[in-house]
Homo-oligomer: A and B are copies of this chain.
Amino acid sequence: MTQKPLRVVPGSKSGGAKAKHRRISEEILSAIEDGRWVPGERLPAEDQLAIEMKASLGTVQRALRSLVQMGVVERHHGRGTFVTGARAQEGQLRHFRFMAEGGTQLLPVYFKIVGIETVRESGPWSSFFGEREDNYIHIHRLVNVNDEFDVFSEIYLPASRFSEIAGMSEATLNGVSFRDFLAERFNAPTINTHQTMACQPLPPRVTRTLNVPHGQYGIVWSIGGLSYRNTPITWQRIFVPPSDRVIEIVPTSAVEQSPLQEVF
């Protein structure tokens, strides 16, 4: 008489065992996270990886395709597979950007740090970062967009991971894009975002800095930035006052990130 098999909850993989192509993806992803392969670097060829991973070519290819989907690597016919660089989005603000009415893109050109502090306060960012984090680096900035108008930006970074930043001088941080900075210095590229918007009276500290009337309404735009494996790395809030010129905020939609025609 054989042992009676355990009753397994239907719909779940037995024992949580993952598919091989998936384990390979994870392994490569880990290597990139750990900096074993740096952005821009070429990975070993498919067949080479297949040998290393003790898998067949097809399986490795599938793993790599899913990494392409995630935006972690890029593949080029005849050239190789490359780690998607910090700068790989070619200077494009991939996840959010300002746009003029016609469709022309407006670029943020000027960053001025208004204040840096380390705080413990909780807020909307707490739930984004999760229970484990309770210490944040909080940076206020004045950002000029395309030399035309100003917005007020505040960013929260988990202090545990980015403690070095707390010690940096304003001079060092002035003018940098945090997105690029985190990607390049901390190997923490923003892979995806979580965004919400609201129309509210701008808080006094903002109206004062931006020099707009007290109580002025504006858009409060919250952006949670996620890196590899959906790890939260930034929480940002941008206060946008109304402007004569029609400025549109474009949350880059899935349409653009992966056009239907290209999902293969």
Contact = CB atoms under 8 A, between A and B. Distances in A.
Contacts of A218: 199, 217
B194 A248 contact: no
A259 interface: yes
Interface residues of A, number: 53
Contact of A257 (B193, B198, B254, B259): B254
A218 B216 CA distance: 11
Nearest to A67: B263
A246 interface: yes
Nearest to A227: B260
A22 to B, nearest CB: 6
A230 interface: yes
B21 A195 contact: no
A1 interface: no
Given A25-B264, A58-B58, A199-B242, 7 more contacts: A21-B264, A22-B264, A69-B258, A99-B196, A194-B255, A199-B247, A200-B246
30 contacts: A19-B264, A21-B264, A25-B264, A58-B58, A62-B264, A69-B258, A69-B263, A70-B260, A103-B127, A192-B255, A192-B260, A193-B253, A196-B249, A197-B197, A197-B249, A199-B199, A199-B218, A199-B219, A199-B240, A200-B242, A201-B242, A226-B255, A229-B260, A230-B255, A230-B259, A230-B261, A251-B251, A251-B253, A253-B254, A254-B257
